[in-house]
């Protein structure tokens, strides 16, 4: 199974939720997340944790927000960002990894399924409903990702 790294801005909402979802669905896979601009000593957003536990019964230990590094880029087989902007930042910083960096929804959907809008909107500063909508959007993409990863393995 390929190792998967999810990337968003602060690694407290979207990439955290994606990591936890995929870890729960594929417990033997190497799944990680990181952010482009992480605050030291931070934690996952309260609403993100609540959305995962309430909507999807997903729980689990998490080490906290992690800054993306060159080593993490090297160690990941697939790097999935939450937005086109995140992908552009990674492509500019480390162009040598561009062949394994994709926007999550770009990787699992075609343009017709997404209307060519591959970004997962940031729920930061939103309420519980905003986080639940974001979690639902990510979960649908993660289910497609699981299917794709399983097909690639067989």
CATH number of domain containing 128: 3.40.50.2300
Instruction: Give the pLDDT score at 37.
Output: 96
Q: Is 14 assigned a catalytic role? A: yes
Nearest CA among 20, 9, 6, 82 for reference residue 51: 20
Residue with tokens 């990510």: 138
Mean pLDDT of 20-25: 95
Instruction: Give the pLDDT score at 110.
Output: 78
Residue with tokens 């160690």: 75
Q: Is the pLDDT of residue 148 over 80?
A: yes
Mean pLDDT of 116-127: 91
* Catalytic option among 8, 13, 23, 119: 8
String of DSSP letters for 38-83: PPTT----HHHHHHHHHHH----------B--HHHHHH-SEEEESS
pLDDT in tens, 29-58: 999 999 999 987 889 999 999 999 998 888
**Mean pLDDT estimate for the chain:** 93
* Catalytic option among 13, 14, 23, 134: 14
Q: Is 122 assigned a catalytic role? A: yes
Instruction: Give the pLDDT score at 60.
Output: 83
Name the residue range of residue 55's domain.
4-153
* Catalytic option among 30, 91, 114, 122: 122
pLDDT in tens, 47-101: 999 999 998 888 888 989 999 999 999 999 999 999 999 999 999 999 999 999 9
Question: What is the domain count for the chain?
Answer: 1
> pTM for the complete prediction?
0.95
pLDDT interval class at 1 (50, 70, 90): confident
């Amino acid at each position: 199974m390929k190792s998967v790294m999810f990337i968003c801005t602060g690694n407290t909402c979207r990439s955290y939720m994606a990591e936890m979802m995929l870890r729960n669905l594929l417990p033997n896979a190497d799944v990680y997340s990181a952010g482009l601009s992480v605050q030291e000593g931070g934690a996952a957003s309260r609403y993100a944790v609540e959305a995962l536990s309430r909507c999807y019964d997903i729980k689990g230990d998490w080490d906290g927000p992690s800054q993306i590094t060159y080593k993490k880029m090297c160690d990941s087989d697939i790097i999935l960002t939450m937005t086109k902007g995140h992908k552009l930042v990674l492509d500019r910083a480390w162009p040598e990894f561009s062949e394994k960096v994709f926007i999550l929804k770009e990787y699992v959907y075609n343009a017709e399924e997404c209307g060519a809008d591959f970004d997962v909107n940031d729920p930061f500063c939103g309420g519980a409903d905003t986080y639940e909508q974001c979690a639902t959007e990510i979960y649908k993409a993660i289910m497609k990702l699981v299917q794709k990863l399983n097909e690639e393995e067989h």
